[in-house]
């Protein structure tokens, strides 16, 4: 039982480190695209 918990904790730590490295290295910024939509206001 202890071996399974130890293996899971090592995998969780490895996953956390991999996610941190990926988020630091990868370009996670979304593409910026100009959006033009006409707006109709119903003003009386």
pLDDT of 8: 97
pLDDT in tens, 5-24: 999 999 999 999 999 999 88
| CA-CA-CA-CA dihedral for 18, 20, 21, 23, to nearest 10 | 120
Residue 26 pLDDT > 90: no
pLDDT of 44: 73
Q: What is the spatial distance between Cα 17 and Cα 25, in angstroms, rounded to a whole number? A: 12
Q: What is the spatial distance between Cα 43 and Cα 36, in angstroms, rounded to a whole number? A: 21
Q: How is residue 37 written in tokens?
A: 């939509």
pLDDT of 18: 96
Helix (H, G, I), strand (E, B) or coil at 37: coil
Q: What is the spatial distance between Cα 28 and Cα 32, in angstroms, rounded to a whole number? A: 12
């Amino acid at each position: 039982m202890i071996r399974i918990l130890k293996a899971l904790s090592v995998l969780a730590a490895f996953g956390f480190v991999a996610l941190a490295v990926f988020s630091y290295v990868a370009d996670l910024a979304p593409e910026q695209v100009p959006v033009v939509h006409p707006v109709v206001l119903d003003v009386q």
